[in-house]
Amino acid sequence: MIAKKAPNPTDKHVGARVRMRRMMLGMSQEKLGNALDLTFQQVQKYEKGANRIGASRLQQISHILQVPVSFFFDGAPAVPGHHAPPGMSEAPSPAYVSDFLATSDGLALTKAFMRIKSAKLRRRIVDLVEQIAED
C-alpha cells in the first residue's frame, strides 16, 4: 500500500481561500467546476489542497471569483528556508482567521455582522461575545 502524501501547506492555504471566496459569493462547487470545465470533485480536491492548482487555472479561478490572484496567497504560511527581501516582509494574517472564515458558520456570522450599519452596535456585539467567551 502506498502512503498518502500530506498536502503542501501552501496548496492547502490556497485551496481554503478558494473555498472561502466561493462560499462568500454563494457559489456551489458544481457551479465553479462548470465554469472551469471540471467536475465538482476536482474543485473539492483543489479546495482541500489535495491537488495543486496550476498558474493558468488559478488565474481562471481568480477571474470567476472576482478577486486578484494575490488574494489566494494572503496569510499563506512562510516557505521554510526562504526569506523575504528586506522591506518586503508582510505580517501574515493569523491562520485561525481564514480557517474560521472558511467554515459556513464563520462566513454566515461575518456576512450578518457586516450588514449591521451601526459601528457602536457592532462594538457592543464584540464586547458581548468576548464576555461570553470568558465564561
pLDDT in tens, 98-112: 677 777 888 888 888
- Tell me the pLDDT band of 23, cut-offs 50, 70 and 90: confident
pLDDT of residue 28: 93
Could you tell me which residue, 95 or 65, shows the higher pLDDT?
A: 65
List C-alpha distances in Å: 3 to 11, 50, 52, 86: 19, 14, 18, 40
Judge whether residue 97 has pLDDT over 60.
yes
pLDDT of residue 119: 84
Of residues 3, 7, 10, 4, the one with CA closest to residue 78: 10
Residues 6+ apart with CB under 8 A from 54: none
* DSSP code of residue 76: P
CB 95 within 8 A of CB 77: yes
Domain coordinates in residue numbering, the chain: 1-77, 103-135
Grid-cell match 491562520, residue found: 95
Grid-cell match 458544481, residue found: 30
**What are the backbone angles phi and psi of residue 70, rounded to the nearest 5°?**
-60, -25
Identify how many contiguous H helices and E strands the chain contains and give both numbers. Answer: 7, 0
List C-alpha distances in Å: 33 to 3, 8, 49, 70: 28, 22, 16, 21
Judge whether residue 88 has pLDDT over 70.
no
pLDDT of residue 87: 52
**CATH 3.20.10.10 for domain 1-77:** no
